[in-house]
Structure 1
Amino acid sequence: MNYKPQDILQKQPWLIYAALLLVFLLLYSWWAERVRIPQRFVITYSQFLDQLEAGNISSVTIENHRIRGELGEETRLQLPERRELVAVRFFETHLPSFQGEELIDRLRASQVAIEVKPVADRPLGQALIWLLPWLLIIGFWIYIMRRSMLQMGGRDGHLGFAQSKARLFDLTRPKVTYQEVAGMENVKKELQEVIEFLKNPAKFTRIGAQIPKGVLLVGPPGCGKTLLAKATAGEAGVPFYSVSASEFIEMFVGVGAARVRDMFRRAKENKPALIFIDEIDAVGRTRGAGMGGGHDEREQTLNQLLSEMDGFEPNEGVIVLAATNRPDVLDPALLRPGRFDRHLVIQKPGWQERLAILKVHSRHKKMASEVDLELLARETPGMTGADLENLMNEAALVALRRNKEQIDTDDMEEAKDKILMGMIRDEVLSETERRITAYHEAGHTLVAWELPGSDPIHKVSILPRGMALGVTQMVPEEDRHYYPRKYLRNRLAVALAGRVAEQLVFDDVSTGAQNDLKDATGLAERMVSQWGMSEKVGPVATARGEEHPFLGRELAQPKKYSDQLAWLMDQEIRRFIVEAEEQAREILARNRENLDKLAAALLREETLEREAIERIIGHHRRLDPP
């Protein structure tokens, strides 16, 4: 970036004072030399010796191989640099290095007053020697203070704890637009209406419509909230300020509230304007949730934000765009109309949106013609935009490791396995552990294959991946929004099938089913206590099994159900798990031969695809109830 001289002087005012001080010292040195020292002429050393022999030297000063002196009588001499004769009274010449005591004796014999100075007495030199340490100390102090001010929120080197850290979006830089954001058409339509409101408010106000105060983007992590805000900045064409909510909070009380005031002041000076606050839950959590009462720094910041958005003074021409994946922890006063008038929910993309996202992220990658992005989109349910971007990048890295010029289907499959099942570990298992792992994964596979309505098997492997020694990958055929009770009971049976297979074959169980038991117990607990899927407990929803996103509204979550109901829920949870285990045992006992075949194939191949599983079992997967 090019700065003009006046900009540099404005940002570095101490440079002006330093320059003035230097000019003053130079002028003082010149003046002192002119006032204290009369006009002195440089003569040759031979002329000096001639005047010494003639007895025409009254005094000399010897200083560092240089002689300054005064003649007894003014004499006209031919100077080296001049052609005409010049009347000389005060002179100067250089003393040869071989002259020493002999010259002193001759001067004393001629009764010349002698003065010896070890070092020249220069006012400028002494002034600089005296001032240099202080200049270094002052310069270092200024440097430290500027760094501290900038870190504590200063701007342009001035003390600025209260100044906002919101960054103004540069409209001249390359920008992201809605064309580069795949999916989310309804959300983009809502935001486009807000942008049009800012650009042409008369179009809306003539029928009485008011500009919204705030728009809250709600969605799981990685679904594209921040990317959508960047695209909104690119589409807006109005001043766009971006800030993270955590940047409001400092160790000094009142700094966050002051920064909120400064941010809105700057936005109002450039209205119409947009303000984007990322992760607003950092300051917008419910007040009174902790031990600090209502006077801690975070709650003061939230109070100021509430006041700026809809307080006593009107907030016109400024729209606040905020993003969070924790809407349940936000303060109700922040969510009410008049502050955040619109709540836009961004869900995980469906398969068509995933296909569009994959096309966007494959735009600048060398893809082989055989890669079927539509099939890949159907095989990645539940993945967000960030997951798909990571998938494409991992595929490119896999292709590079294999020294390929293009990304092919094998690279995409390896990248997907790495993300869904974990990276392969270089770990050598004993033959006994390999057999246990093979039967464990074969049990999962066979029960999932036999149960109608369960998710189909995509791949099964006994290669150690991630934290597991074996993995069974099940991929839904379509995106699910509802989970019927029968489907969830099947999931319980599939989760427990690995343990049942170990018990059936080895007449023993191992610790390999730890995660399976944890997942099955958690699923059964939610079925009973939250989803009303138990006939004995009935359609009752309790807080049991609920994962609280933060320790919050009360120091200890109260138990809102009786001990009798808790005992009944325990019995129902155990019944669900035991029935699922018996269902898995019945399927595996009936298909023991296929279980052995699957385990043998896994020991031999280590990884089986869906087609290979179908060839081993010998029939297509059952899709209808038995």
Structure 2
Amino acid sequence: MYWHKKMRLFFSMHWVKFAIITAVLLLIALAVWGLMSMESFYMHLTLAQLPLQLLLTALSAAIFVYMYMMVFRGGFSKLERGRVKGENVRVRFDDVIGIDEAKEDAWEVVSLIKDRTRLQQIGGKILRGLLMVGPPGCGKTYLAKAIATEAGVPFISMAGSEFVEIFVGVGASRVRKLFKRARQLAYAHGACILFIDELDAIGRSRSFSYMGGGMETNATQNQILVEMDGLTDKEQNVIVIGATNAGEEVLDIALLRPGRFDRKIYIDKPGLEGREKLFKYYLSRVKHDRQMDLSRLAKRSVYKSPAEIENIVKEAALIATRHKKDSVTYKDISEAIERVDLGMKRKRVLTPTEKRNTAYHEAGHLIVMYILHPTDDVFKASIISRRSSQGVVYSQPREELYIHNKEKLLADIKVSLAGYVSEKLKCGSTSTGVSSDFKNAMRIAHSMVWQLGMSDKELLGDYTSVPNDQISDKIKEDLNNETQKIFHKCMKEVEALLTKEDILLERFTKELVERDELEYDEIEAIFAEYNKTRENPAKHIK
């Protein structure tokens, strides 16, 4: 359908090469004809000098071409990226897993590209821009490749950082060349997809200095705005796909208006069903236990992105290999999740007193988490050093929660304070190990009072949005008092619980000192031994 346009494009892009080849062949023919007409002596003399003349000519030509390319053909702004055929990307929509809603929106774009003739017949226009927004590792780039593959059109990919240079004007020049290349491919193939990854590198809100000047990225962004808004030729369907990990609010409003990025696709972390499909897909690439319950893995990996799940499977394969196993088991996956979330174990030799105090600290966290927390379950307790912490109680939510109520926030504070209270009750003094716990608890309590209106006095409003000098000292004092009130109330409840469960606290401390680590099943068994149960335990995800 587009063969004549492709031929015209090919000759328009390579006419210089054809001209050079023709000229060289003509010169060779003239040189041979001239040598044939010379006398024997002069012909031999000319042939003897010919290699040196060719060498000097080639050197001069190389210097000239280099200077010409640097000065007149872009130099630093030279664009290295070429097009990639859609069929060569080889990422189908079936390969994009865990983001079904985003796939539906993207498939609509593919349909518009495929049916662009019908769309133009009824007077419609194809989308000019598609913005993908979401956290890292959720498949934005992968989805863009799938769009190019399914649409079967050329695909050009660049990162936003490739437009940023120290030299003024280089970024804008690269943008012009990139869009020129995209328009040529769209003319020859009917459409072209231009993918700009990490768009926020050049798409942030424009800023200007006090003298009226702007940053170099301003010129680059201005050129993108002009190029996107200037794509009016009905046969030059260039679809710009931008991807960013930053929120929409950081991008310039001129980029987001209709006519530039017309459509926005929000890509979030996968839900339960999506995570199960991801585990099935990535485990199919390695030898694994076929009896493994993938639904348990999906429930164990709440809030994990596709990239994180892929990394977990890779880490599990390494662990299985290290243990000289023939396939990956559930235990390997579980260890990989802990290694990714908690970090590698560090062998530190603690004094008996340090080990006992750490065990009391973690046992306090464990008991309060198990009994009082409404949404999270304990999967592991350890007094082995990981990263910067001396011990850890590893917990996971039972399901995705996108809104946290007051009870959940208070439970988080109580769990954070439990280590401090346990040390104070059993050791007579506290240690520096409570610093991160206090920091987390204070952050939550401060947010509850200053931002969320969850104090007893009902000081409503987000006071962090008001300049500090515009809040009266009386209001500040009330807010701080309410924060401390939450702190002390939670601490008293934790102290009462740990005093009541003193036998359980001693038992867990003893087990941690002897074993260093307690797994989910062992923790459940000890609680069951003392007839301690909680409502809706997540035994199905152990």
Please, what TM-score do these two structures have when normalized by structure 2?
0.84
Q: Which has the higher contact order (CA 8 A, sep 6+)?
A: 2
Query: For the structure 1 residues 399 and 243, does the alpha-carbon distance in structure 2 shift closer, same or farther, using more than 3 Å as the test?
Result: same
Aligned to 1:604: 514
Aligned pairs for 1:17-28 (under 5 A) are none
Is the aligned partner of 1:249 residue 2:158?
Answer: no
Aligned to 1:276: 195
The answer to whether the Cα contact below 8 Å between 1:537 and 1:568 also exists between their aligned partners in 2 is no
Query: For the structure 1 residues 36 and 341, does the alpha-carbon distance in structure 2 shift closer, same or farther, using more than 3 Å as the test?
Result: closer
Aligned to 1:534: 455
Is the aligned partner of 1:171 residue 2:86?
Answer: yes
Aligned to 1:465: 386
Deviations along 1:286-345, one digit per CA (max 9) or x if unpaired, are 112766855321011111212222259668622211111112211112112222122211
Counterpart CA distance in 2 for 1:380 and 1:202 is 45
The answer to whether the Cα contact below 8 Å between 1:460 and 1:608 also exists between their aligned partners in 2 is yes
Counterpart CA distance in 2 for 1:421 and 1:29 is 83
- Post-superposition shift, 1:359? 1.2
- Post-superposition shift, 1:510? 0.9
Is the aligned partner of 1:406 residue 2:327?
Answer: yes
- Post-superposition shift, 1:19? 12
Counterpart CA distance in 2 for 1:235 and 1:292 is 49
Deviations along 1:331-389, one digit per CA (max 9) or x if unpaired, are 11211222212221111111111011111111211111232221011011011011000
Is the aligned partner of 1:501 residue 2:416?
Answer: no
Deviations along 1:52-74, one digit per CA (max 9) or x if unpaired, are xxxxxxxxxxxxxxxxxxxxxxx
Aligned to 1:480: 401
Counterpart CA distance in 2 for 1:35 and 1:611 is 99
Query: For the structure 1 residues 238 and 439, does the alpha-carbon distance in structure 2 shift closer, same or farther, using more than 3 Å as the test?
Result: same
3-state SS of 2:203 partner: coil
The answer to whether the Cα contact below 8 Å between 2:377 and 2:397 also exists between their aligned partners in 1 is yes
Deviations along 1:192-217, one digit per CA (max 9) or x if unpaired, are 11111111124445555432221111
1:591 to 501, 510, 535: 501
Aligned to 1:233: 148
- Post-superposition shift, 1:535? 4.0
Aligned to 2:227: 308
Q: Which amino acid aligns with 1:541?
A: D
1:319 to 239, 254, 261: 239
The answer to whether the Cα contact below 8 Å between 1:181 and 1:227 also exists between their aligned partners in 2 is yes
Counterpart CA distance in 1 for 2:487 and 2:121 is 63
1:562 to 471, 478, 482: 471
Aligned Cα root-mean-square deviation (Å): 3.5
Q: Which amino acid aligns with 2:41?
A: R
- Post-superposition shift, 1:11? 9.9
Counterpart CA distance in 1 for 2:41 and 2:294 is 88
Q: Which amino acid aligns with 1:232?
A: I
Aligned to 2:254: 333
- Post-superposition shift, 1:458? 1.0
Query: For the structure 1 residues 522 and 289, does the alpha-carbon distance in structure 2 shift closer, same or farther, using more than 3 Å as the test?
Result: farther
Counterpart CA distance in 2 for 1:428 and 1:199 is 65
Counterpart CA distance in 1 for 2:520 and 2:36 is 93
Query: For the structure 1 residues 454 and 282, does the alpha-carbon distance in structure 2 shift closer, same or farther, using more than 3 Å as the test?
Result: same
Counterpart CA distance in 2 for 1:125 and 1:458 is 85
- Post-superposition shift, 1:460? 0.9
Deviations along 1:441-473, one digit per CA (max 9) or x if unpaired, are 111001111215141111111111222111111
Aligned to 1:54: none
3-state SS of 2:379 partner: strand
Counterpart CA distance in 2 for 1:312 and 1:224 is 28
Q: Which amino acid aligns with 2:313?
A: M
Counterpart CA distance in 2 for 1:559 and 1:26 is 91
Query: For the structure 1 residues 307 and 130, does the alpha-carbon distance in structure 2 shift closer, same or farther, using more than 3 Å as the test?
Result: closer
- Post-superposition shift, 1:20? 6.8
The answer to whether the Cα contact below 8 Å between 1:32 and 1:123 also exists between their aligned partners in 2 is no
The answer to whether the Cα contact below 8 Å between 1:26 and 1:124 also exists between their aligned partners in 2 is no
Aligned pairs for 1:346-495 (under 5 A) are 346-495=267-416
Greater C-alpha Rg:
1
Counterpart CA distance in 1 for 2:107 and 2:219 is 33
- Post-superposition shift, 1:611? 2.4
The answer to whether the Cα contact below 8 Å between 1:537 and 1:569 also exists between their aligned partners in 2 is no
The answer to whether the Cα contact below 8 Å between 1:278 and 1:323 also exists between their aligned partners in 2 is yes
Aligned to 1:194: 109
Aligned to 2:523: 613
Query: For the structure 1 residues 454 and 346, does the alpha-carbon distance in structure 2 shift closer, same or farther, using more than 3 Å as the test?
Result: same
Q: How many residues align?
A: 514
Q: Which amino acid aligns with 1:253?
A: V
Deviations along 1:409-467, one digit per CA (max 9) or x if unpaired, are 22111111101111111322222221121111111001111215141111111111222
Deviations along 1:100-156, one digit per CA (max 9) or x if unpaired, are xxxxxxxxxxxxxxxxxxxxxx88767867986x5796588579779x96xx9x9xx
Query: For the structure 1 residues 239 and 14, does the alpha-carbon distance in structure 2 shift closer, same or farther, using more than 3 Å as the test?
Result: closer
Q: Which amino acid aligns with 2:156?
A: Y
- Post-superposition shift, 1:514? 1.7
Query: For the structure 1 residues 561 and 223, does the alpha-carbon distance in structure 2 shift closer, same or farther, using more than 3 Å as the test?
Result: farther
Q: Which amino acid aligns with 2:325?
A: K
Counterpart CA distance in 2 for 1:322 and 1:355 is 28
The answer to whether the Cα contact below 8 Å between 2:375 and 2:398 also exists between their aligned partners in 1 is no
3-state SS of 1:413 partner: helix
Query: For the structure 1 residues 294 and 605, does the alpha-carbon distance in structure 2 shift closer, same or farther, using more than 3 Å as the test?
Result: same
1:520 to 441, 444, 453: 441
Counterpart CA distance in 1 for 2:353 and 2:210 is 54
Please, what TM-score do these two structures have when normalized by structure 1?
0.74
The answer to whether the Cα contact below 8 Å between 1:495 and 1:517 also exists between their aligned partners in 2 is yes
The answer to whether the Cα contact below 8 Å between 1:542 and 1:560 also exists between their aligned partners in 2 is no
Query: For the structure 1 residues 130 and 179, does the alpha-carbon distance in structure 2 shift closer, same or farther, using more than 3 Å as the test?
Result: closer
- Segments of structure 1 that go 5 or more residues without pairing to the other structure are 1-6, 38-121, 545-556
The answer to whether the Cα contact below 8 Å between 2:451 and 2:461 also exists between their aligned partners in 1 is yes
3-state SS of 2:193 partner: strand
Counterpart CA distance in 2 for 1:324 and 1:578 is 42
Counterpart CA distance in 2 for 1:264 and 1:599 is 66
Q: Which amino acid aligns with 1:577?
A: F
3-state SS of 1:391 partner: helix
Counterpart CA distance in 2 for 1:142 and 1:337 is 47
Q: Which amino acid aligns with 1:275?
A: L
- Segments of structure 2 that go 5 or more residues without pairing to the other structure are 1-13, 537-542
The answer to whether the Cα contact below 8 Å between 2:135 and 2:245 also exists between their aligned partners in 1 is yes
- Structure number with higher helix proportion: 2
The range that moved more, 497-506 or 594-603, is 497-506
2:487 to 553, 577, 588: 577
Q: Which amino acid aligns with 2:471?
A: S
Deviations along 1:211-230, one digit per CA (max 9) or x if unpaired, are 22211111111111111112
Deviations along 1:534-588, one digit per CA (max 9) or x if unpaired, are 24353312446xxxxxxxxxxxx95485143444333333322222222222211
Aligned to 1:299: 218
The answer to whether the Cα contact below 8 Å between 2:163 and 2:174 also exists between their aligned partners in 1 is yes
- Post-superposition shift, 1:26? 13
The answer to whether the Cα contact below 8 Å between 1:166 and 1:241 also exists between their aligned partners in 2 is yes
Aligned to 2:11: none
> What fraction of aligned residue pairs are identical, expressed as a percent?
35
3-state SS of 2:345 partner: coil
3-state SS of 2:385 partner: coil
Is the aligned partner of 1:34 residue 2:49?
Answer: no
Aligned to 2:5: none
Deviations along 1:1-42, one digit per CA (max 9) or x if unpaired, are xxxxxx999399699879979x979988996871599xxxxx
Query: For the structure 1 residues 590 and 29, does the alpha-carbon distance in structure 2 shift closer, same or farther, using more than 3 Å as the test?
Result: farther
3-state SS of 1:258 partner: helix
Counterpart CA distance in 1 for 2:231 and 2:148 is 29
Query: For the structure 1 residues 216 and 615, does the alpha-carbon distance in structure 2 shift closer, same or farther, using more than 3 Å as the test?
Result: same
Query: For the structure 1 residues 261 and 559, does the alpha-carbon distance in structure 2 shift closer, same or farther, using more than 3 Å as the test?
Result: farther
